[in-house]
Amino acid sequence: MRCILKCKFLIILLALVGVGLVWIFWCNNKEDGRKLETFSLSNGMNVVVMPDHRSPVVLHSVWYKAGSVDEPTGKTGIAHMLEHMMFKGTKKIKPGEISEIVARNGGQDNAFTSRDYTAYYQKVAKDKLPLMMELESDRIANLTLADKDFQPERDVVLEERRQRTDVKPINRFFEKLVHTHYPNHPYGNPIIGWREDIENYKLQDTLDWYGQHYAPNNATMILAGDITAKEAKPLVEKYYGSLEVKPTPERGNYTEALRGEPVVLKHIDKEVQVPVFYRLYRAPSAFQNIGGGVEHTEDAMALVMLAEIFGNSETGILYEALVKDQQIADAANADYDAVSLGEGSIDIFIQPKPDVKLSTIDTAVAKQIETFIANGVDADDFARAKTSLLADDVYAQDDIFHSVYRLGLWLMAGGDVKTYDDWKQELTDLTPADVITVAKRYFDVNRSTTGLLAGNEAQF
């Protein structure tokens, strides 16, 4: 009898566990933020909704295809300048009051400008979403800019540039290095703008930028959180549907000419205590090849894996070799961003030990690349890199802002909702041989820019 009862208990327990697993699986899929829903307004505004009902919060964001890549010569940083001015009020709202209203209603707001876009967002309780849409749609059409607000804000931007770049020797140097890498491409200009351009801004420059780029047909709204497209559509139509279509400039197909020899930027700065080594290799992004065109954009996923395996700042081959084994560096990593409107770049950064010369680092990096290509990709390293990339994606879905941010980057660079998650299949199909193929193709010193920054000649 006890055996029968024990067996029955086990059967019931297993059944409950099974039901629990099914429930967890169903809930996880039911709440999957990747079930993207889309619609468009008649005025051209595109809307993407990312439902996630785990908390009664919504992140409301509007993204414009208007970044530093779109700026004319002599007006670098004007996209960022207008971002600041977008908080200076409308016909109905006083300067600075937008953020105050958001805060009074328990929300958070901010904005950011990058190479390919400018974006604005508010994170609020769901019942405050209509108010956020009213505020945001108002400043798309009714921004009021006055010189009394413009002049002080330009000084704020100049101070921002000073603190971020001008007083930091490494940042100053990296700004020059990127411009050396892209001398004829807008990506070679700092997003915040060159100091001389900022100093010469006029109020009309921001008005012109606003009039040219801020239109519903040049904008994408991304909503994430406790909302569905069915709920959102009436609200979006109410607050954004009446905005008028405006002619906006076509985005330029900017390219940097190919070159067949390495470029080296060598600089001594007496403020530098520890020298640094940079090497920037030209590479395609997911949207544009080196020098233009779309060929080899299919290499983007393999390049992501290459950067993860070779350059991870804690487990990568460079770190293991130069920091742990040879102990000639304090930091070593490589970065690659696949998501950009223009071509990409594989960027290597090494901070040597104080008594190690930059020439030693140069030789060591070249040796590691040679060895990596000759030996191929270790199976464990390959599996670990795949797991890491997939885990990063899962963690990102737990943060509403990161979910929106990643999607916004993709859409502004030229991607669409249908292909947003295709990278997972590309990652599944990827082989170690694919990583070595792109390493051979893009670790080409003749298509690189090397930056050597030191405090004195002896450190070279």
Residues 330 and 197 in one domain: no
Last residue of a domain, one of 175, 207, 240: 240
- Within-domain flag for 25: no
- Within-domain flag for 245: no
Residues 80 and 173 in one domain: yes
User: From first to last of its 460 residues, what are the pLDDT tens digits of the chain?
Assistant: 223 222 333 333 333 333 333 333 333 333 444 689 999 999 999 999 999 999 999 999 999 999 999 999 999 999 999 999 999 999 999 999 999 999 999 999 999 999 999 999 999 999 999 999 999 999 999 999 999 999 999 999 999 999 999 999 999 999 999 999 999 999 999 999 999 999 999 999 999 999 999 999 999 999 999 999 999 999 999 999 999 999 999 998 889 999 889 999 999 999 998 899 999 999 999 999 999 989 999 999 999 999 999 999 889 999 999 999 999 999 999 999 999 999 999 999 999 999 999 999 999 999 999 999 999 999 999 999 999 999 988 888 889 999 999 999 999 999 999 999 999 999 999 999 999 999 999 999 999 999 999 999 999 9
Number of domains in the chain: 2
- Within-domain flag for 232: yes
**DSSP-assigned states of every residue in 56-85:** SEEEEEEEES-SGGGPPTT-TTHHHHHHHH
Determine the pLDDT at residue 17: 34
Range of the domain at 403: 263-459
Q: What is the residue type of 114?
A: S
Residues 198 and 267 in one domain: no
Residues 196 and 337 in one domain: no
- In angstroms, the CA 396 to CA 399 distance is 5
Determine the pLDDT at residue 179: 98
Entry pTM: 0.90
- Within-domain flag for 11: no
Q: What is the residue type of 34?
A: R
Determine the pLDDT at residue 253: 86
- Within-domain flag for 21: no
Cβ neighbors of 105 (< 8 A, separation 6 or more) are: 124, 125, 128, 131
The CA-CA-CA angle for residues 89, 113, 266, to 5°, reads 140
Determine the pLDDT at residue 7: 34
Residues 142 and 81 in one domain: yes
Helices 422-429 and 300-311, packing angle to 10 deg: 70
Structure tokens at 337: 């961003």
Cβ neighbors of 12 (< 8 A, separation 6 or more) are: none
Residues 265, 161 contacting (CB under 8 angstroms): no
CATH classification at residue 316: 3.30.830.10
Residues 277 and 230 in one domain: no
Determine the pLDDT at residue 342: 96
Last residue of a domain, one of 205, 240, 275: 240
Residues 227 and 284 in one domain: no
- Within-domain flag for 46: yes
Residues 317 and 446 in one domain: yes
- Within-domain flag for 32: no
Residues 333 and 388 in one domain: yes
Task: Just list the catalytic residues.
Answer: 83
- Within-domain flag for 255: no
Residues 144 and 181 in one domain: yes
Structure tokens at 82: 């207008």
Residues 378 and 438 in one domain: yes
Residues 94 and 189 in one domain: yes
